[in-house]
Amino acid sequence: MSSATPTIEKPPYRVVGTRPIRPDGVDKVTGRAIFGADVRLSGLLHGRVLRSPHAHARIKSIDTRAAEALPGVKAVVTGHDFPDPQNKVAASGEGTVNLRSLAHNCIARDKVLYFGHAVAAVAATTPNIAEEALKLITVEYELLPHVLDVREAMRPDAPLLHDDLRTNEMGQRAETPSNIANHTRHERGDVNQAFAEAAVVVEREFRTSMVHQGYIEPQNGTALWNADGQISVWCSTQAPFDERNQLAEILGMPVSKIKVTPTEIGGGFGGKLSVFLEPLAAMLSKKAGHRPVKMAMNRAEVLAATAPTSGSYIRVKIGADKNGCIVAAQAWMVYEAGAFPGSPVDAGAGVIFAPYRIPNVLIDAYDVVVNKPRAGAYRAPGATNAAFASESVIDELAEKLGIDPLEFRILNGAKEGDRRADGPVYKRIGFIETAQAAKAHPHYSAPLAPSRLDPEGKNPAIKRGRGVAAGFWFNWGGKSSAWASLNPDGTVSLIEGSPDIGGSRASIAMQLAESLGVRAEDVKPAVVDTDSVGYNDATGGSRVTFGTGWVAWRLGEKLKQQLKARAALLWEVTPDQVKAEAGVFSCNGRSITLKELAGKLDETGGPIVASDTFESDEYGPGFGVHIVDLEVDTETGKVQILRYTAAQDVGTAIHPAYVEGQLQGGVAQGIGWALNEEFVYDAQGHLLNASFLDYRIPTALDLPMIDTVLVEVPNPGHPYGVRGVGETPIVPPAGAVANAIYHAIGARMTALPMSPARILEAQGKA
């Protein structure tokens, strides 16, 4: 359960801060909600994808004739059925995507770059026939040397993935090709001098494995390329408008010919920001005589060939003076980009020292391609890797200085006016308040249960430890558009374009309800296709409740202004004389409820609608501080989480239950990343654990209840003080768990996952 620690008095909201049942709830608990794979169209064909069995190879030839001849097969496509887009960069999520890379990732042209890379696709009357047809396609490969490790890939003699890739350093391209796509540096002050003068310096290197978002719903897409050239796509996506742009580029069609309908989406966490199957389904539909084609991945395909997030190598060095003040911090970070440039290493570089006030900083960040799937965003992309490294070193520094680890973080914590490690100055942030809330939580002062002895009563077999860690995420505003119409019964239909991935219909509707003065249940939100609402950026970057919520607030205000004018008309006064309060309009002792006024729409001038589009830059970052108790079975190396508390600066919690849920879900993913999850490749670059049995995400049995502390430091840049909350909670867990393991067994863990084998190795038992 949560406790709230408001530090600024909140206005007396009527809707904000309550916990209504989500508008789409009944459909989701009865199985009626339509997810991507539930789309059914007449004449539907089923598509399947042939994938590369090699990590790196040249495609010499593809023979599809036998597959095309199989009864029931209606179309086969390969990379050469698609136009080759230019090296054009488009917005995707908060960042950018190279559309040529994206096109080549959806279906290979001349080379396959990773195990699972798509090389051909088939549409047939049944999924089984499509699957059979794949076996009839003959691909002749010329095997090429591959590289899986980022530091090996950086060597001058490493096999090159792309002959035309040259390292970019802030707008300057290197002369010769390389697997290093990008180098970024942040530098302030003089770290060398500061380290030389520091009382304590800790330096360590860390490795993390490629991990997957692990959404339960596989990627899917249904496309109809109609005879009139109109293309309709139904899919599970976080970003229908981005996908429309991507499809236009990959298919060589204007945006106006493409309509993307986002279905209900079964999780994304950054993994569903770009197209995979949709262009293949569209091209198959065209080749199959304009019949609709549905495609869905199986779990093995999801793991092998979507957009997991980067494994990494990170070296961190931090120094402090004898009073415990951090004087310098240095990081050298290399992230796997997978087969195409674009790892989240720059975000990692922005996050790694973000919670702290540090006068001397040097950060080098490298984006390096390897023969693995194209790395994508995963909830605070790049941040968990970075915080695992920095928070481990921070913990060690605090220990060496003899300072309580939370006290050390508070002592060095960033406040308004302090400079971020990468340069800019913070505005109003709540890191100190969050760390203090964690420190004040009963969990932090509760005695840790003692370690247990082995059956012979000699050695401690089960050792317990407590750890803490902090985390930061930038958040995002982004563009949102929506419209609303007032119904004659006083309810509001709200039309929005932000796919609802975790209850955002509720949090957006609540903000309109609050500003208009109606109940949450009186606002009926609908998420619609790209032709039916103005542009919306992705549901990602923790932006929707902030950005689309802001538009909803404005819609409420606009409807209210119009209603004031209607009341003014009835009372023969001017609109500015009419007051509106909690759904009641009044003037000079007369009053009318919103519901009554809505019933008089026709007699006062007809329908009332409002539309709006808006983007705010004042989203403000989020900070989290986590506490974990765990026990380590020293014989097996297994770690069990005993107790977990996550404190976070959440701005204003619009629907606290879903804010708590974001924290709990982020923690669970972070614990999985910390303890179990990793992509395991063999020496040939084949993914060995492409199932939920072998890529093991946490189950209900692996986790305790997850306590949350919602620290409400309202964001001054939002009408209700909203701050993004979704991403920050995945940042601290790996560091917190590593620190707790250290306090249990006395060994610093420097690689993720901290699997039983690694725990045994750390104890010298492997």
Partner 1 sequence: MNKIPVQACINGEAVVFLCEPNQTLLEVLREELGLTGTKEGCSNGNCGACNVILDGALVNSCLVLAVEAEGKSITTIEGIAGPNGLHPIQQKFLEHAALQCGICTPGFIVAAKALLDHNPQPTEEEARRWLAGNLCRCTGYDKIIRAVLDAAETLRNT
Partner 2 sequence: MARVWIPALLRGMTGGQSEIEVAGETVGALIDQLEARYPGIRERLVEAGRLRPNIAVVVDGTRSRQGLRQPVSEQSEVHFVPAISGG
Buried b / exposed e over 53-63, threshold 16 CB at 10 Å, is: bbbbbebeebe
Under the binding rule (CB under 8 A), the answer on residue 29 touching partner 1 is yes
Query: Binders of partner 1 among 296-325, rule CB under 8 A?
Result: 296, 298-299
Cis peptide bond N-terminal to 753, omega within 30: yes
- DSSP-derived letter for residue 94 is T
| Residue 545 contacts partner 1 per CB under 8 A | no
Which uninterrupted H or E stretch holds 565? helix 544-571
- Positions of E strands within 380-505: 452-453, 460-473, 479-486, 492-496
- Give the HSE-up count for residue 255: Cα atoms under 13 Å, Cβ half-sphere: 10
Q: Does 30 bind partner 1 (CB under 8 A)?
A: yes
Which of 344, 333, 341, 349 shows the shortest CA–CA distance to 369?
341
CA distance 251 to 354: 41
Among partner 2, partner 1, none, what binds residue 471 when CB lies within 5 to 8 Å by partner kind?
none
Q: Which does residue 257 bind out of partner 1, partner 2, none, counting CB within 5 to 8 angstroms by kind? A: none
CB 613 within 8 A of CB 481: yes
**Binds partner 1 by CB under 8 A, chosen from 139, 667, 734, 740:** 667
Interface with partner 1 includes 218 (CB under 8 A)?
yes
DSSP conformation class of 499: -
Decide if residue 170 touches partner 1 (CB under 8 A).
no
Among 660, 677, 712, 727, binds partner 1 (CB under 8 A): 660
- Burial class (CB within 10 angstroms; exposed 0-12, middle 13-18, buried 19+) of 137: buried
> Out of 11, 13, 21, 576, which residue is the one contacting partner 1 (CB under 8 A)?
21
Could you tell me which stretch among 199-207, 208-216, 239-247, 458-466 binds partner 1 (CB under 8 A)? 208-216
> Binding partner 1 by CB under 8 A: which of 82, 215, 356, 472?
215
Q: Which stretch of DSSP H or E encloses residue 546? A: helix 544-571
Of these, 6, 13, 40, 140, which contacts partner 1 (CB under 8 A)? 40
For the chain, the distance separating the N- and C-terminal CA atoms, rounded to the nearest angstrom, is 40
CA distance 160 to 179: 6
CA-nearest of 250, 314, 317 to 277 is 250
445 contacts partner 1 (rule: CB under 8 A): no
**Nearest distance, CB of residue 226 and partner 1, angstroms:** 24
Q: How far is the CB of 718 from partner 1 (least distance, A)?
A: 22
**Minimum CB distance to partner 1, residue 580 (Å):** 30
The least distance separating partner 2 from the CB of residue 505, rounded to whole angstroms, comes to 20
Task: Supply the minimum distance, in Å, between the C-beta of residue 730 and partner 1.
Answer: 11
The item of partner 1, partner 2, none sharing an interface with residue 664, based on CB under 5 to 8 Å by kind, is partner 1
Q: How far is the CB of 235 from partner 2 (least distance, A)?
A: 18
Which residue, 621 or 637, is less far from partner 2 as judged by CB?
A: 621
Residue 195 contact partner, candidates partner 2, partner 1, none, CB within 5 to 8 A by sort of partner: none
Is 276 a residue that touches partner 1 (CB under 8 A)?
no
Binding partner selected for residue 693 from partner 2, partner 1, none, CB under the kind-specific 5 to 8 Å limit: partner 1
Least distance to partner 2, CB of residue 730, Å: 9
Distances in whole angstroms, Cα of residue 15 to Cα of each of 22, 117, 649, 662, 711: 13, 48, 20, 20, 19
Asked if 202 is part of the footprint of partner 1 (rule: CB under 8 A), the reply reads no
Q: List residues near partner 2 by CB under 8 A.
A: 89, 92-96, 168-172, 182-188, 213, 268-271, 273, 344, 346-347, 349-350, 376-382, 422-427, 473-476, 540-543, 615, 617-618, 727
| CA atoms within 13 Å, Cβ hemisphere of 766 | 10
Nearest distance, CB of residue 638 and partner 1, angstroms: 15
757: number of Cβ within 10 Å: 12
Q: Where do we find the tokens 């047939």?
A: 124
Query: φ, ψ for residue 232 (rounded to 5)?
Result: -115, 135
215 interface partner picked from partner 2, partner 1, none, CB below 5 to 8 A per type: partner 1
Strand pairing report for 452-453 and 460-473: antiparallel
669: contact with partner 1 by CB under 8 A: yes
Angle, in degrees to the nearest 10, between helices 278-287 and 240-251: 50
762 contacts partner 1 (rule: CB under 8 A):
no
Spatial contact of 371 and 55, defined as CB atoms under 8 Å apart: yes
* Binding span for partner 1 by CB under 8 A among 19-27, 153-161, 184-192, 391-399: 19-27
CB of 74 to partner 2, least distance (A): 36
Measure Cα distances from 422 to 172, 709, 728 in Å. Answer: 20, 28, 18
61 makes contact with partner 1 (CB under 8 A) = no
- Give which of partner 2, partner 1, none residue 80 binds (C-beta under 5 to 8 Å, depending on kind): none
Residues interacting with partner 1, by CB under 8 A? 19, 21-22, 24-26, 28-35, 37-38, 40, 128, 213-218, 264-269, 296, 298-299, 501-503, 655, 657-658, 660-662, 664-669, 691-693, 697-703, 705-706
